[in-house]
Structure 1
């Protein structure tokens, strides 16, 4: 039976690969939005493993606070606006930067979730410092992981519904913003069950672990 740390490492590696795939998207800015959605999904799954309640709004603020303005990622994305050459030059660094950023965030999330049961109690100062160090290590880790798994074959993509609203017109975003941010208690429970099922299907959780966590989540209904 895999322990929580091993389960967390698998989740992080999966999301690094997804981030690398998203970073290779030839459309400027969209790649950054896709990577952010993947990183949010990673935080959701890690919170479930460590039995920590997840908040979508806080998760977005947390990533923004730790990563900062994301100058490196946006810079690599912006290069893609240069016709032909931009897609070639921008794609390569964006793949590495996206994977390294996800690796670094994964290490920060894992470290913090191991010592706190409340998302809002993250040590932000320590998290930012750890992110900077892990980001540099992540560049090499990404290259090693890519070689290890034969990057190029697309793994399954996590749900990125948060990103869909960005593709609609401004009116729809305005009309639906209030509804999209309101989640009932039951909806939150069902979302946890969905993520739990994904973790089992990916082999990160055993059937016994799935059933144990499922019962704990259903008790919240």
Structure 2
């Protein structure tokens, strides 16, 4: 494995961990927006690593098309709407789905950029097979990493990372932080 591939793998894993925290956001549908922001940042960094021009609007559309096939996300968000246990069950499942989709998005774009591709010649249909395989792999990795994500202190740390990365505003960060602290 060359240095650039190792750097790409590291970027994917780092963003996967941040996305896992994003999946724990207790506000229904906010986890999607936060995860998309994490995935967009990942594609931006991968594009930079491979010297590919980054176009935010194009990348956002490609990610949405690719991830949109994962209908699990909608079900997970609906689970979060259930009173009481909904957030706990939905949040745990959403964190795995957020991490797995982020891993899959990263792997798809890594492979595409390594082959000399750009955002302009990205073929969503052709990428689906790679995405589905990488999603399953990411799901396995995320499930193995899920235990630490349940710890409130770990959730606070990940929430802080999201805020530092600019994914959450100061107001969103404080609100979510207070929700986690109230559970201690």
Category of TM-score, reference length = shorter chain: 0.7 to 0.9
Classify 1:139/1:69 alpha carbon distance in 2 versus 1 (closer, same or farther; 3 Å). closer
Q: 2:166 maps to what in 1?
A: 159
1:98 Cα deviation after fit: 0.7
1:145 Cα deviation after fit: 4.3
Residues 62-91 of structure 1: CA deviation (Å, up to 9, x unaligned): 011212254211210121111111112111
Contact 2:28 2:78 in 1 (8 A): yes
Q: 2:81 maps to what in 1?
A: 81
Question: Hey, which bits of structure 1, 4+ residues long, moved more than 3 A?
Answer: 144-147
Contact 2:44 2:54 in 1 (8 A): yes
Aligned partners of 2:108, 2:118: CA distance in 1, in Å? 15
Q: Which runs of 5+ in 2 are unaligned?
A: 173-184
Contact 1:99 1:139 in 2 (8 A): yes
Contact 1:32 1:74 in 2 (8 A): no
Contact 1:67 1:128 in 2 (8 A): no
Aligned partners of 2:117, 2:105: CA distance in 1, in Å? 18
What is the TM-score with the length of structure 2 in the denominator? 0.79
Moved more, 124-133 or 10-19: 124-133
Aligned partners of 2:19, 2:84: CA distance in 1, in Å? 22
Residues 146-181 of structure 1: CA deviation (Å, up to 9, x unaligned): 56xx54532533233xx87xx9xxxxxxxxxxxxxx
Q: 1:119 maps to what in 2?
A: 119
Contact 2:112 2:118 in 1 (8 A): no
Classify 1:134/1:125 alpha carbon distance in 2 versus 1 (closer, same or farther; 3 Å). same
What is the TM-score with the length of structure 1 in the denominator? 0.67
Aligned partners of 2:46, 2:85: CA distance in 1, in Å? 38
**Per the alignment, in what secondary structure is the counterpart of residue 166 of structure 2?**
coil
Q: 1:33 maps to what in 2?
A: 33
**Count of residue pairs brought into register by the alignment:** 160
User: Which of the pair has more CA radius of gyration?
Assistant: 1
1:50 Cα deviation after fit: 0.5
1:35 Cα deviation after fit: 0.5
Contact 1:116 1:122 in 2 (8 A): no
